[in-house]
């Protein structure tokens, strides 16, 4: 009998390990030898599970999507107030900070390297999912949520480029303060009527989200 290995399970394990390495250094700056060495297998093993370096990238992109991205949404669904939901969001934004950076870098690498794939659609899906989740959970219009997503993106990028000048964690805290003022944090969901203040705020702040 052969060595007992759950091929698919192990493949995912390898992908997981590849992810941070690839993102940190960039697709083009990691050699297969390096990758194998850092993971702790031989190059041959890598090629046993993936037909090519490019394919690792592609599979990684898929894997990362289906695995890590959406996990946190379930955490907010049952929470009664927006303030509490926002707490979870902020917590997750911090927790996943590096992950989002990596994802962003990965997306850029995908864009530049992989020709035969609809990278755009993948990112659109991600953007939509995240935007819709925020709109629903935080009870804000989609446009506001999209703006929030865009702002998060900018934050992640800036913090990545200037980690000491604009540390990511601080940026998240700042954003939290903004949102506390801007969002209908005192609403209990699902609430049919929104408070005056709240509505007014949304109108005033409409710009943020339009």
Partner DNA sequence: TATGAATGAGAATTCATTCAT
Partner DNA sequence: TATGAATGAATTCTCATTCAT
Q: Which does 53 bind (CB under 5 to 8 A by kind): a second copy, DNA, none?
A: DNA
Stretch that binds DNA, among 24-32, 152-160, 170-178, 188-196 (CB under 7 A): 24-32
CB closer to a second copy out of 111 and 188 = 111
In angstroms, give the least distance from the CB of 206 to a second copy.
7
| Radius of gyration of the chain measured on its C-alpha atoms | 20
In angstroms, give the least distance from the CB of 15 to DNA.
13
| Binds DNA by CB under 7 A, chosen from 18, 19, 23, 49 | 49
**CA-closest candidate to residue 133, choices 168, 178, 194, 88:** 88
| Interacting residues with DNA (CB under 7 A) | 1-5, 7, 10, 30-33, 41-45, 47-49, 51-54
């Amino acid at each position: 009998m052969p060595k007992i290995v759950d091929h698919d399970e192990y493949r995912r394990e390898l992908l997981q390990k590849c992810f941070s390495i690839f993102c940190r250094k960039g697709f083009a700056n990691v050699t297969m030898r390096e990758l194998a060495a850092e993971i702790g297998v031989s190059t041959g093993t890598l090629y046993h599970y993936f037909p090519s370096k490019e394919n690792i990238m592609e599979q990684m992109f898929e894997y990362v999507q289906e695995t890590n991205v959406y996990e946190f949404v379930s955490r907010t669904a049952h929470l009664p107030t927006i303030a509490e939901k926002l707490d979870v969001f902020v917590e997750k934004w911090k927790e996943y900070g590096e992950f989002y950076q990596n994802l962003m870098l990965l997306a850029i690498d995908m864009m530049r390297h992989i020709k035969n794939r609809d990278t755009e659609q993948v990112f659109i899906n991600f953007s939509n999912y995240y935007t819709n989740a925020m709109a629903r959970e935080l009870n804000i219009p989609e446009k506001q949520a999209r703006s929030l997503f865009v702002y998060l993106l900018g934050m992640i990028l800036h913090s990545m480029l200037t980690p000491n000048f604009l540390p990511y964690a601080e940026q998240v805290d700042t954003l939290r303060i903004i949102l506390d003022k801007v969002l209908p944090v005192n609403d209990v969901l699902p609430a049919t009527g929104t408070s005056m203040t709240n509505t007014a705020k949304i109108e005033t702040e409409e710009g943020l989200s339009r």
